[in-house]
Chain A
Amino acid sequence: MAEKFDVIVVGAGPAGSAAAHTLAKAGLNVIMFERGEYPGSKNVMGGVIYRHQLQEIVPDFLESAPLERPIVQQNFWMMDEKSVFQMGYKGLEWAEAPHNNFTVLRAKFDQWFAGKAVEQGALLINETVVTEAIVEDGKVIGVRTDRPNGDVYADVVILADGVNSLLAKQLGFHKELKPSEVALAVMQVINLPAEKIEDRFNLEPNQGATIELFGDSTKGLLGTSFIYTNKESISIGVGTLLSGLMENRMKPYELLETLKQHPVVRKLIQGGEPKEYLAHLIPEGGYHSIPKLVDHGVMVVGDAAQLVNGIHREGSNLAMASGRMAAETVIMAKQVNDFSANILDAYRTNLMNSFVGQDLKKYKDAAHTLDRNPVYFKEYIPMMNRAASEMFTVDGVSKWDKQKKVMGMVQEKGTISTIRDLYRAWKVMK
C-alpha cells in the first residue's frame, strides 16, 4: 500500500513552497515534489521578489533569506535607437526595513524557501517528476511519479508545476497555451564588482535598482527588457510574446545581444563577466487565461494558474499569495474532512477577491490591446524621444515654435487617431 499524505504539492517554486510551508505549519502531513536537482534549478526570474507576500508566510525572512539587494530605485526607460526617455522613482524609505522588494537569484532563493517549508515539517523530494495525476471516480487522489513504485496518494494535490503545467492540461483545466499567451524570456547574469554596480547605478552598498526598458529594447515587439542589480552581478534580459518572435522571425538571444550593445545600455554592463544564460516562459495571458483552478481533490496555483501581472512585472508575489490561500482552504477543508470541489472552491473565491484576482482583472485587456496595436511601442515611444530631443535642444528656436513642432509630430500621425490611441490605452490601464 503506497503512502498517503494530507497534501501533495507538485513543484517547489514560490507557489509550491508557500503552500507547503503554510500547510506544514498548521500540522498537515505534506509532501512536495521537485523535478530539479534542487528547488530553483529549473526556475528563472529576472529577480524581483516582494516583501509583503513573503513576510505573510515567513515573518522573520530578513534574518535568513538569500536576498541580493533591497530595491530603492525603480526606473522605466522608453527607448529609441540612440536615445532613451527616462522615468523613475527613488525612495530611500525602501532602503530601511521592512523594505518593499528585493532582487534575488532564484536558485538560491527557492532552495532557501523550500528549506523553510521543510523546517515546518514538509517532506521535500527532489529529482522526481510527477508524470500524471491519479484520478478515481472523478476525484484526484494522488500522483504518479517517475520513480519505481512511485505512486503517492493524498486528500488534495496542489499543482504548482509552473507555466507549462502539463498536469493541469492533462486534467483538462486548460487547453494548450497559445504563442500569444506566453512571453519567452532570455536573460544573462553578468558578474560585476559591487562598487562598480554602486557607482554606475548611483547606489549605496546594500541598495539596488531596477530598470524596465520598453520600445527599442524589444525592437517594438510587445514585451519588456530588464536590468536588475544583484550584490555582485547584474541580471539583464528580454521577454517578448512568443507570437511576436514568430511573426518577426527574431531570435531571442539576438534581441538580448542587441540590448547589451545598445549605446545607452552597454556602459552599465561593460567589463562584466557573463556567468549564466537562462530561458523561460512567462504566462502573459492574464485574467482571460486563468484556467479552472479547483476540482475534486485538486487546486492550481502560481504560474500554473497563469497568475502573472505583466504590466507591473509581478509574479512571484502572486504565486506566494495563491499558494498560501490554497493551503488555507485545505486547512479548512481538513477540519470538515471534505475535499470536494465545492469546499475547495473557497480558494478560487478568496483568490479572485484578493489583490491577485483584482489586479489581473484590472489589466485583463491590457496585454491583448497592446499586442493588437503595436503603435504604442513602435510609434509613440520613438515620438516621445523625438519630442524630448526637440524640447531640450537649445538651438535658437523659441519654445513656442518647438511646441508647435512637437504638436506637428502628433498631427503627422493624425490628431484624431492619436487621441483614440491614448483613450484606448487609458481604458485598458485605468
Chain B
Amino acid sequence: MSQPLKKVNVDDLQYLTRFVSDKESHLHIKDHNICKTKCEEKHCTVFCPAQVYKWEGERMFVGFEGCHECGSCRIGCPHDNIEWKYPKGGLGVVFRLA
C-alpha cells in the first residue's frame, strides 16, 4: 500500500455546505442491536462523506443534519439496517453551486 491518505476534518468541509435541517431524522437505524452485535466493520462510519454515522461505543449516533442525501449508507450497510428516506420537501441539503 502506498502513502496513507491525508487527514482532513470533516467539519471544515461541512461548514461550506448549506443545510436546512428538519426536526426529525430522515435516517433511521432499524435495529440498534445489529450495529452493536452483528456489525464489526461499521462501514458507514468510514465511507459516509459527511460522517453522519458515529459509533459511540454502545450505540450508533446518526447526525442526519449534515447528510448530503447521497444514499451510500442505505446501499453500503451490509445488514440492510438503515431506513433511508428523503427529507421533507425543501429540507435537507441545499447545494448552491455544483
A residues adjacent to B (C-beta < 8 A): 35-37, 40-47, 81, 105-108, 126-129, 145-147, 163-164, 166, 176-179, 182, 184, 186-189, 216, 219-220, 233, 235, 242, 245-246, 249-258, 260-261, 274-281
Cα distance, A186 to B49, chains bound together (Å): 7
Q: Is the CB of A179 within 8 A of B6?
A: no
**Which residues of the partner chain B approach A108 to less than 8 Å between Cβ atoms?**
97
Interface size classification for chain B: 35 or more
CB-nearest residue of chain A relative to B80? A176
**Which residues of the partner chain A approach B94 to less than 8 Å between Cβ atoms?**
36-37, 41
Q: Is the CB of A281 within 8 A of B71?
A: yes
Stretch at the interface among B31-39, B56-64, B82-90: B82-90
Given contacts A177-B75, A246-B76, A257-B5, contact A184 B47 (CB under 8 A): yes
Given contacts A253-B10, A276-B16, contact A107 B89 (CB under 8 A): no
Q: Is the CB of A278 within 8 A of B46?
A: no
Is chain B's interface secondary structure helix, strand, loop, or mixed overall?
A: loop
Q: Is the CB of A276 within 8 A of B95?
A: yes
Q: Is the CB of A242 within 8 A of B49?
A: no
Cα distance, A233 to B43, chains bound together (Å): 33
Q: Is the CB of A242 within 8 A of B47?
A: yes
Q: What are 25 sample pairs from A and B whose C-beta atoms fall under 8 A apart?
A: A36-B90, A37-B94, A40-B95, A41-B93, A47-B98, A107-B98, A108-B97, A129-B86, A163-B71, A164-B74, A182-B72, A189-B97, A242-B75, A245-B47, A249-B43, A250-B5, A250-B46, A251-B47, A253-B49, A254-B8, A257-B8, A258-B5, A260-B6, A275-B16, A279-B50
Q: Is the CB of A251 within 8 A of B46?
A: yes
Q: Is the CB of A188 within 8 A of B16?
A: yes
CB-nearest residue of chain A relative to B26? A129
Q: Is the CB of A219 within 8 A of B72?
A: no
Q: Is the CB of B97 within 8 A of A219?
A: no
Out of B71, B84, B88, B98, name the residue touching A276 (CB < 8 Å): B98
Q: Is the CB of B98 within 8 A of A105?
A: yes
CB-nearest residue of chain A relative to B10? A253
Q: Is the CB of A46 within 8 A of B98?
A: yes
Q: Is the CB of B86 within 8 A of A35?
A: yes
CB-nearest residue of chain B relative to A243? B76
Given contacts A184-B70, A246-B47, A251-B5, contact A107 B86 (CB under 8 A): no
Cα distance, A252 to B71, chains bound together (Å): 14
Among B63-81, those with CB < 8 Å from A are: 68-72, 74-76, 80
**Which residues of the partner chain B approach A128 to less than 8 Å between Cβ atoms?**
89-90
